[in-house]
Structure formats: C-alpha cells, structure tokens
Structure 1
Amino acid sequence: MRIGLVASVGEMIDSFFVEIIEEWRNAGNTVLTATGPDLPVKVQDGVTLIPGITRRPSTKNFQAKSQLRGWVAQNNIDIVVTNAATGSLLVRAAGLTVPVVYFCHGLHWQSHTKLSAIPWVTAERWALRRTAGILTLNSDDDQWFRTHTTKPVHRLRQGIGLDLTNYEQTPMPAHDNGILKLVWIGELTPRKRPVDAVRTIANLHTMGIDAELDLLGAGDLSPKVAAVIDQLGLNDKVRLQGLQPVTEYFAKSHALIHTATWEGLPRVGLESVAIGRAMLAYDTKGTRDIPGVILSPQESPDSLAGTIATWVNNGLQPPAVPREHLSYQSAAKQILEFLDHTESA
C-alpha cells in the first residue's frame, strides 16, 4: 500500500509519526509525507512541502487543492491520512480521487453546543462527506463522529503509543519523610490551567499534606503563575522548571497532576503510566480516557486536592496498566489494519 501522510506543519510528523512511519515501512508499505512550509520537518527525509497548507486559515489555502491533487497523482498514492484542523479540512476539500482518512487528534471544542464551537462543528460536518474513515483518540470525539457519520471510525485507546525504551518503569520514591512530590507538565496557557495546579498544592497544605510541585513547561501564563506562587507563599514548595526532559521528573515524583480544560489524549499521561506513576486529573474530555487515570469529580483545586488526599491515604497506588498496551508498535498495527480495510472498501 502507498500511504500519503499530510500534516499542517512538519512538527506534527516529527512529534507523532516517526516511529509509526518506520513500522509501516517495515511491514512493506511505501509512506510519503507532505506538510506545509511553516515549520519544515526535521527528521523525515523526502518530505514534500506544500505551500497551500498552513497551520491557520490563509489566502495561501486556495493553492492547496491543485497542489494536493498533483502530489497524490505524481506519487501514485493509494490512501491519504491527514490530521490537524486546518490541514485536514484542506485535504478533504481537495476532492482527491483516493480515500482520505482523518486522524483526529482532538476536535476543537469541549462541547459542540457552545456558540464558539459552531464554526468548527459546521466545517467538520461538511468535511465528513469527503472522509472515508476516522481515527480518534478519546471517547467524546469518538461518540461525536459515530453520531454524525456512517463511515468507519476506530478509536486508538492508547493514542499513537510510546517508544517504551525511553520510558523505563522506575520504583516509586520513598514517602517516609511525609513529603508528597508531584509534577505538572504542559504549556503554561489558559487551556492547561497551571494556576489551578498551584492552588491545588495550597489546598493540600491546608489539609495537612506536605506537598511539593515541579511545573514543567513554558507559555504566556508564566509570569502569572510565578505571581500566584509568591502570593500563596509557596516559593519553597512549587518550582517553575521551564522546558525539561520529563523522565527525570517522573522518576523523582509520586504522581502527575493534570488540570487542562480539554485534551485529545494527553501524551504526558501515557508517559506517566508507562513509568509507573499515577495520573490525578480533572474529569475532562481526553484526560478521562488515559488508562488508569484517577479523576477529580469537579474541575476545581479543592476537588483535585481531595482526590489526591484520598489517593495518599490509600497508599499511593501506582497505575495497574500493562505496559505493552502503550507501545507505538501496537498503535501502528491498529492504524495499518484500519487503512487496509478502508482502502479496500
């Protein structure tokens, strides 16, 4: 099978598909990649840069139809896989002569009934008429697609998987000194709600639990987060670490906490589970589908602190998830079987 993979930016191929592509090629398939020119692909040789594909809507998009059709024809592609909101809409709008599978990393709304979601919902419902199949990562998106199309839908319950050699399971740190060590990982943005993570630590201290938190990531909210840490008197308990390798911090932490408004399927949660650390999080789209996640009933620092306290009192249990289910090899096999079925339909 000759598979065409199209992403809005090269960063997506680098971050999500390198191992998947290798598995497909090892299985005897030809894989060709294409991306917009905004962020060139770093590690994939032979990628085609298509000027009409952009991360956000642009006048350049008018060129995409002819460019995509030419790329498919010149490379004799059998089936196209596309992801990301803008890129996938452009691919499906191009009227290609081969099946197009939409790999949905996360629909761009938490609730399809909100006014702000209407443009996205309208565009996606239109694009479904030109979609041969859909791959999803979470239960909310999966249900939405199954409600709005009769086309085949397959949910990857462990996402695109991990290279487990990079996430060796490590022993839980001792808790003898009574200090609970937590880590939060993500962009410091409103959607990720890092301030809630800081307030959760303050609530744990109020409850008599001596907790420390390392925040890994960068973003526009960094000054605000620093100000809240100072305001709550947590400078010796909460540390803004910036962008750091995650495995080191998982190894010295007891658990990951997560406070996002919504996710596709947070990779950091899979990493946490693979290393043997529990994930304690708000019950939100995407996050609720991480294997073994412990959910807070309300989206508030008070509620999350209570959930963490219960987990501590129950003995800091690690997640009981078979590691092999988290591998990229498993994900690559599932996707390939879905593509083969869709291409031959």
Structure 2
Amino acid sequence: MRVLHVAECFAAGVRTAMLEYIASTPMVEHIVVAADRGEPMPESCDGYRVIAMADGHLARIRQVRELCQALHPTLIHAHSSFAGVYARIGCGDVPVVYTPHCFGFERGDLSIAARRVLWMVERSLARRTAVIAACSRREAHLAQRIGASSICIPNVGRFGEGISHDVIEESRNGVSEVAFMGRITPQKDPGFALEAVRRITSLGDGRVRFEWIGDGTAADRARLEDAGVRVTGWLPAQEVAAELSKCAVYVHTAAWEGFPMAVLEASQLGLPIVARAIPALDGMPEEFLGDDPETVAAIAVQTISAPHTPGACATRWDEALSGNTRDNQRDALLTAYSQATGRATQEG
C-alpha cells in the first residue's frame, strides 16, 4: 500500500500526529507532500519521503493531481483543512482519507459567517471523501453531522515510555514550574494562559515559574515574556521531553482542538495535567478541567500544593488516555485505509 500524505500545515501538533501515523504503519509506503510553515522540518525522514508543496492554492491542487498520475498511490491521506481541499479536488479517482485535526468551522477566531462557509465547504466535499479519520470522538461526531463516513484514530504521543512522577518531583528543586506548550496562536489562546499565570501567581506562595514550550511571532513571544513566562522556542523532541519533565504541572489552554498532542505527551511523561474544558477533551477527567482562567488556575494551584494530588491527577489522565496506544492507532488506521480502498473498489 502506498499512501500519499498531503499536509499544508506540516507543523506543531499536526506534524507530530502525522509522524506517529507513519511510525505506527511501517508496512505502508508513505510519501509526504508538505509546505514549510517556517518551523524546523523533521530531524529525519525514517520511513517516509518528503516532497515540497508548491506555492499557491491552484498550483497545489494541480500538484496533487500530477503526483497521483506519477506515483499511483493507493490512497491519499489529507491532513487539515487546506490540504483536505487540495486532495479532494485534485485526487481524480484516488480515494481520500481526511483527518481535519480540528475542522475549520470550529475556529473561534473566525466570524460566524466565515464558519458557516467552512461548514458548507466541508459538507460539499464530504461526497469526495472515502473516510474521515477523526482524531477524537468530537471530530467523529462532527464528521457524521456533515454526512461523511468516519472512524476514530487515536492520537499517540511521541515519547514512548515515560518517566515516573517521583523523578519529576525531584527535578524541581523546590520551585514549581508550570508549562504551556504549542504554537503561540489564537488557537492556543495565550491571553487565557496569561490570565491563568496571573491567577496562579496570586494564589501561590511565590515559588512558581512559568514557561511556554514552543514559539510564535515576535509580538506574541514578547507578550508572554513581558509577563514573566519563559519562551523556549522550537526544540527537538528530546529537549521538549526534558523541559516538560522539570515541571510540576502542564496546563493546556487551547480554545479549540482536534485532540491535543501536548496533553498526550505530558501524560506520557507522568505529568499532572490541568486543561481548559473544550469539546475535544470530552471524556477526560472533569475534576481537572476548567471553563475559565480562574478555575484552571485554582485547579493548577491545588494540584501543585496538595500532597497526593499530583500523582492522583497524573493517574486519572493516564487512565483516561489508556486507549491512545500505538497498537490501537495502527489497527484503526489500517481499518480506515482498508475501508477507503474497499469503498473505492465498490464505487468503481
């Protein structure tokens, strides 16, 4: 089986999720056509090869069509909204598996009118989609609402075997470090994070440090740094793990998501997690979710300060994420791919 992955947003969580899909299915030949979004490209290309994506929307649709003619992929796996458009228009008779990694009409930074347009676009393109490979129960539910066949593909983190919470405790040297992570964009809502920082600082005993693992524009970075949040910039996976492992709690503040890779990675490292309550986190531990910065901050401070809460919190998240395994991901992906090619054969 040869899979052509199309990714306009080959960055941050989408890239991590894609590379884990590839790692989970070594029996498949993977070819990635991707755009450089100004972030470091993967350190290696083990198990796949990369083709640079053309510039411009029409050129990218044309490129997908030409690659299908030249490479004869078994199917296309499109990742995120723009790539979903390119793939489903340019695919010809090649079946398309589509992972939105959060549908565009879920974006809270767009007007209601724009979101309605995106809804109509997705509904229209559902007819050209063999399977939506949803990364969460929320995404699978939305796929059904737009009339598409769907299967849930659990995301998995990139850190494999984690370290124990005892090691994390010892590494803090008496100072509680609170981590945020991701690309500094409206989706990750740095404003929500900054308000949580202010609340945690006011509620804590002063022995708290904050860091944002990731990067963004100079202005967004300065906004965090001016509030006392250290911004690490983009780091290799090993250094991300090292930074997270020093922290007392990981706080996830995104306003919308497909399913957050950062939460999975924090859980793999045994970290307690406190998160903003968003639909993508349906089924996660409710006692560690908050609707607003005040609630998130209060839960974070309680998690840090109570003697047994950090371990209990980490355990609850580990239990909630117990289905996000490599084996489950591989089986679900192969089922989606088989379903897509089977459907294409039947329609043909």
Residue by residue over 1:85-118, the C-alpha shift from the partner in whole angstroms, topping out at 9 and shown as x without a partner, is 1121011012521211111211123369923312
Alignment of 1:234-253 (within 5 A): 238-244=229-235, 245-253=239-247
Task: List aligned pairs for 1:124-143, cutoff 5 A.
Answer: 124-143=122-141
State the alpha-carbon separation in 1 of the partners of residues 262 and 37 from structure 2.
Answer: 25
2:223 alignment partner in structure 1 = 224
Q: Distance in 2 between matches of 1:192 and 1:278?
A: 19
* SS across alignment from 1:184: strand
Q: Structure 2 vs 1, CA of residues 178 and 204 (structure 1 numbering), >3 Å: closer, same or farther?
A: farther
Per-residue CA deviation, residues 307-337 of structure 1 (Å, 9 max, x unaligned), is 2244344632242226874444542332112
| Distance in 1, Cα, partners of 2:82 & 2:298 | 40
Match of 1:214 in 2: 211
Measured in 1, the distance between the counterparts of 2:79 and 2:152 equals 14
Instruction: Give, in angstroms, the shift of residue 275 of structure 1.
Output: 0.7
CA deviation after TM superposition for structure 1 residue 3, in Å: 2.3
Alignment-mate amino acid for residue 228 of structure 1: A
CA contact (8 A) 2:176 2:248 kept: yes
- What is the CA distance between 1:11 and its match in structure 2? 5.0
- TM alignment of 1:183-332, pairs within 5 A: 183-210=179-206, 211-219=208-216, 220-229=219-228, 238-244=229-235, 245-286=239-280, 288-289=281-282, 292=285, 295-299=288-292, 301-311=293-303, 312-313=305-306, 315-316=309-310, 317-320=312-315, 321=318, 325-332=323-330
Aligned residues of 2:16 and 2:261 also touching (Cα < 8 A): no
If each structure's helix is expressed as a fraction of its own residues, which one has the higher value?
A: 2
Query: Corresponding residue for 1:81?
Result: 77
Please point out which of 120, 123, 129 is paired with 1:122.
120
Q: Deviations over 1:202-259 (max 9, x none)?
A: 3234335443322323223122223334xxxxxxxx5444444222222221210121
Q: TM-score, normalised by structure 1?
A: 0.79
List gaps (5 residues or longer) in structure 2.
344-348
**What is the alpha-carbon distance in structure 1 between the residues aligned to residue 34 and residue 322 of structure 2?**
31
**Is the Cα contact below 8 Å between 1:186 and 1:192 reproduced in 2?**
yes
Distance in 1 (CA, whole Å) between partners of 2:73 and 2:187 is 38
Question: How far is the alpha carbon of 1:71 from its aligned partner?
Answer: 2.2
Cα gap change, 1:307/1:122 in structure 2, threshold over 3 Å: closer, same or farther?
A: same
> Take 2:184 and 2:62, find their aligned partners in 1: how far apart are those partners?
39
Note if contact 1:265-1:289 (Cα within 8 Å) is conserved in structure 2.
Answer: no
CA distance in 2, matches of 1:125, 1:239: 42
SS at match of 1:109: helix
Instruction: Trace 1:143-154 onto structure 2 (pairs within 5 A).
Output: 143-149=141-147, 151-154=148-151
Q: SS of the counterpart of 2:309?
A: coil
Aligned to 1:99: 95
Identity of aligned residues (%): 17
Question: 2 CA distance for matches of 1:34 and 1:177?
Answer: 45
Q: Which amino acid aligns with 1:21?
A: I
SS in 2 for 1:280: strand
Post-superposition Cα deviations, 1:27-70, rounded to whole Å, max 9, x if no partner, equal 3x33333335777965446434453xx5xxx3xx3344554333
**Aligned position for 2:153:** 156
CA distance in 1, matches of 2:173, 2:212: 22
Paired residue secondary structure (2:31): strand
Query: RMSD of aligned C-alpha atoms?
Result: 3.3
Q: State the one-letter code of the partner of 1:145.
A: A
SS of the residue corresponding to residue 134 of structure 1 reads: strand
Separation in 1 of the partners of 2:34 and 2:277?
A: 34
Aligned-pair CA distance for 1:130: 0.6
Contact 1:77–1:98 (Cα < 8 Å) also in 2: yes
Contact 1:270–1:290 (CA under 8 A) maintained in structure 2: no
- Tell me the residue number matched to 2:346: none
Q: Which amino acid aligns with 1:96?
A: G
